[in-house]
Amino acid sequence: MHIGAVADRTGLSLRTLRHYDEVGVLRPSGRTDGGFRLYTQHDVERLLLIRRMKPLGFTLEEMREVLDLVESLADPAVDPQGPREHLAAFVVRAEQRRAELARTLEMADEFIDLLRRR
């Protein structure tokens, strides 16, 4: 599918998708004869994983690492123990960041309540 359809399906901007390609976070699976990016359903699934990491503040390098780990788990030639241990560390970091966001939301809710009471 073309980049516009992928942007619609993932909620990511065209600019973001091009940036991910340029920095090597996620390159499209192919290109047309005219050079237009072509994405597969697998690419879309990987982009959705990236999109879920963004609000948690993961860096592009961390996103690339998670994608590589997930891909390695799908490879029958790879011992899954190493990638699973690395992914477990990402789970811990994601849980910590989620807790921080929850605290931030609580403070925002308190602020909104204070303003509404005035």
Q: Residue 72 sits in a domain of what CATH number? A: 1.10.1660.10
Q: What percent of the chain has pLDDT over 90?
A: 93
pTM: 0.85
The rounded distance, in Å, linking the Cα atoms of 44 and 20 is 13
- Is-contact 19 7, C-beta < 8 A? no
Which pLDDT score, from 0 to 100, does residue 112 have?
97
The parent domain of residue 105 ranges over: 1-117
The rounded distance, in Å, linking the Cα atoms of 71 and 52 is 17
Q: Which amino acid belongs to residue 47? A: L
Which pLDDT score, from 0 to 100, does residue 100 have?
97
Indicate the number of domains in the chain.
Answer: 1
Could you tell me the pLDDT band of residue 104, with boundaries at 50, 70 and 90?
very high
- CA triple 66-70-74, angle to 5 deg: 165
The rounded distance, in Å, linking the Cα atoms of 62 and 54 is 10
